[in-house]
């Protein structure tokens, strides 16, 4: 594996880093108060960041997958909120149409998603089906030119803000995973009800809502793939999505390490900087080693994906390790800051709050272990 980045990838890193520091960082306070970063997403669309791996033919930048991961990495170092919005929009909001859509569906939806005019969301989880995704209860019944959907979805990232929802529903419960279909649902479809906003521990600028479908009529031409392909579509796109979330976690961990290192060099106790005291120096060394290992797993999975190779196991390994690293490194960063780290005066408490959910969404750490062990 080539462990260096190409000139083009480095340009992407620099461009996104500048954007994140100049445009995203000043808006963090607003996001912490719950404001959705609509204007920043519009600017990201102008820069081509909302469709990085999408083919040019459908309005995307058609860059390699690693470049897309570099963008999530840089954005998440500054704002994990924008990291998850971008990852969900691209990996599981847009890609299902790119990879499983008909030519007509791609022409109709992908250019708008890739330009950022539309935002995407992914609706798999339900109040009673999370890890056991195949046990979902939302029903889709074909009636003439429509599928009529009834049911509810839970923890939908970008919900309420998204223009396009990839929705999974059962057409025949007796068929198990083969009875699950995927649908492209437009936001103003009658019967699509946006429910309660979750009050979350972190990611305050990202919206997470419940959705209800009340006799929601979806035109038959919005079925994605065939009726029995929905579960496969969900799983295949989650493989890729999990690299995005692993990268979000990596970005958070890098930010926490960098803040803790800078603080440890400045803060003096017992007559010298705490970075020169072994208790803190060893802590920073362990944090840096974990971050480096997470980075290698993330970019290894991204490299496989860029080359069009299978990456399901590597994506799960990257997610398992990078998200654990994010939780551990942000915890230790607070420890390095001491009492100051527990206040809102420094960003490490935000990193800590944002890190936890990376071990939960797009498949918990326990689910990643199931996926990895199945490959073994």
Active site residues: 362
Write out the DSSP string of 306-355: HTT---HHHHHHHHHHHHHHHHHHHHHHHHHHGGGGGSTTSTHHHHHHHH
Among 125, 222, 306, 330, binds ligand CAA (CB under 6 A): 125
DSSP state of 361: T
Binders of ligand CAA among 202-231, rule CB under 6 A?
A: 231
**Cross-strand bridge partners of residue 139:** 150, 170
Cα dihedral 63, 166, 366, 370 sign: negative
Q: Does 122 bind ligand CAA (CB under 6 A)?
A: yes
Fill in the per-residue mask, 231 to 250: x = in contact with ligand CAA (CB under 6 A), - = not in contact: xx--xx-xx-----------
Binders of ligand CAA among 293-332, rule CB under 6 A?
A: 312
Closest to ligand CAA by CB, 239 vs 359, is 239
Binders of ligand CAA among 335-364, rule CB under 6 A?
A: 361-363
Q: What is the CA radius of gyration of the chain?
A: 21
Number of residues in contact with ligand CAA, rule: CB under 6 A? 24
* Neighbour-count burial of 57, counting CB atoms closer than 10 A to its CB (0-12 exposed, 13-18 middle, 19+ buried): exposed
Q: Does 157 bind ligand CAA (CB under 6 A)?
A: yes
Among 41, 78, 88, 216, binds ligand CAA (CB under 6 A): 88
Among 8, 370, 373, 375, binds ligand CAA (CB under 6 A): 370
215 touches 150 (CB < 8 A): yes
Instruction: Look at residue 112 and give its three-state secondary structure.
Output: helix
Closest to ligand CAA by CB, 217 vs 369, is 369
Closest to ligand CAA by CB, 60 vs 120, is 120
**Residue 176: both structure tokens together:** 């198990």
Sites of contact with ligand CAA (CB under 6 A): 84, 88, 92, 122, 124-125, 131, 133-134, 157, 177, 231-232, 235-236, 238-239, 312, 361-363, 367, 370-371
């Amino acid at each position: 594996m080539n462990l260096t980045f190409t000139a083009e990838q480095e340009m992407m890193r620099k461009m996104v880093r500048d954007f994140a520091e100049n445009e995203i960082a000043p808006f963090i306070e607003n996001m912490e108060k719950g404001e959705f970063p609509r204007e920043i997403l519009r600017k990201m669309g102008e820069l081509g960041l909302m469709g990085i791996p999408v083919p040019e033919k459908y309005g995307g930048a058609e860059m390699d997958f690693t470049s897309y991961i570099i963008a999530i990495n840089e954005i998440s170092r500054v704002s994990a909120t924008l990291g998850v919005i971008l990852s969900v929009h691209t990996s599981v909001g847009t890609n299902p149409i790119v990879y499983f859509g008909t030519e007509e569906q791609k022409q109709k939806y992908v250019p708008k998603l890739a330009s950022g005019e539309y935002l995407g969301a992914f609706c798999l989880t339900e109040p009673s089906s999370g890890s056991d995704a195949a046990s979902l209860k939302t029903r889709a019944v074909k009636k003439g030119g429509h599928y009529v959907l009834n049911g509810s979805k839970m923890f939908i990232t970008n919900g309420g803000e998204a223009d396009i929802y990839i929705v999974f529903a059962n057409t025949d419960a007796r068929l198990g995973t083969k009875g699950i279909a995927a649908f492209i649902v437009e936001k103003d479809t009658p019967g699509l009800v946006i429910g309660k906003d979750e009050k979350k521990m972190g990611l305050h600028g990202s919206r997470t809502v419940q959705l209800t479908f009340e006799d929601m009529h979806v035109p038959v031409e919005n079925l994605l793939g065939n009726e029995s392909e929905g579960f496969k579509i969900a799983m295949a796109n989650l493989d890729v999505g999990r690299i995005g979330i692993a990268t979000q976690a990596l970005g958070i961990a890098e930010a926490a390490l960098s803040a803790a290192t800078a603080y440890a060099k400045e803060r003096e106790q017992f007559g010298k900087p705490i970075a020169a005291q072994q208790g803190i120096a060893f802590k920073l060394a362990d944090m840096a080693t974990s971050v480096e290992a997470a980075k290698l797993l993330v970019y290894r999975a991204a490299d496989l994906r860029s080359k069009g190779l299978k990456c399901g196991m590597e994506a799960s390994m990257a997610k398992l390790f990078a998200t654990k690293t994010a939780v551990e490194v942000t915890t230790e960063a607070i420890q390095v800051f001491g009492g100051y780290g527990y206040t809102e005066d420094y960003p490490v408490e935000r990193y800590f709050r944002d890190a936890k959910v990376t071990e939960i969404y797009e498949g918990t750490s326990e689910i990643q272990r199931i996926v990895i062990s199945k490959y073994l």
